[in-house]
Amino acid sequence: MTHSAISKNLSILEGYLGYELFNRVGRTMTPTMEAEILAKAVREAEDLIDGALRGIAERRTAVVLNIAAPATFAMRWLVPRLPDFASRYGHIRPQIRPTHTPDDWLAGTFDIVLRRGADIPGHLAPRPLFTETMGLIATEAVADRVRAQGGLRAGDLISADTRPGELDAWLQMAGLERQAAEIAERYPHNYIALEAALAGRGAIVASLQIVAQFLEDGHLVEVFPGRTIAGETYYVGYDPRSPKRSCFDAFAAWLETQTRMPVAA
């Protein structure tokens, strides 16, 4: 811009504001208080715009990871931890696709798969994350009732159709009546059964790792602390030949650090 164009636009701005923005002494111009106020606001606005532009550019260049994971694991274990991953790897954006037990998960699109059980094909180079520790959990009120009555009754237990055999195995280990599993209130999916347990409908055998936050904040407790059985092992897999290999490695390494977090007692 020419000096005359700057002078003209400055005069227009001063006319709009109703204030002079510079004190003119000879050929020297010093900003007025109003000019300082306006300059500060303009700098802040420029910073805000620059930040928005950088954020938009980062979204364009971010690497998206499509992650297939069991629904309960995704909701209760993985998603609550993702802010920590985002703080470490801002250029990687995980997108979760929850899977259910009957699903043909191999037919879907994914970069990384997480599975409960060793059913990941070898070409995805599966590696173990952690083995579940299964215990009987419930709200404090339900746990107190079960402990006080000296036996299991109708309405005390909850089970999920997608987790067959877990309740029977835990009852056998605990030396309790296995017939109690036959009168347990049944739900089609594990995440629904967990919601029922949170609502006080009964006690459920569940992975202490998956419900660790509920145990920590007191929403759920172990009915019989220390009486646990080993559950299934979770695995992570991805194609090591993918051009996203470095991002996959970063996500898998981060997962492993999260599995080393202590399970709430």
**Inter-CA distances, 34 with 1, 9, 20, 26, Å:** 24, 16, 8, 21
3-60, CATH topology level? Arc Repressor Mutant, subunit A (1.10.10)
Predicted pLDDT at 203 = 96
Backbone angles phi, psi at 187, to 5 degrees: -130, 150
Predicted pLDDT at 177 = 81
State the CB neighbour count (10 A cutoff) for residue 24: 9
Residues of the chain scoring pLDDT < 70: 55-61, 261-265
Which CATH architecture group holds 132-230? 3-Layer(aba) Sandwich (3.40)
Predicted pLDDT at 2 = 87
Predicted pLDDT at 264 = 41
CATH of 63-131+232-259, picked from 3.90.1170.50, 3.30.428.10, 3.10.450.50, 3.40.190.10, is: 3.40.190.10
Predicted pLDDT at 99 = 94
Predicted pLDDT at 161 = 94
End-to-end CA distance of the chain: 69
State the CB neighbour count (10 A cutoff) for residue 117: 12
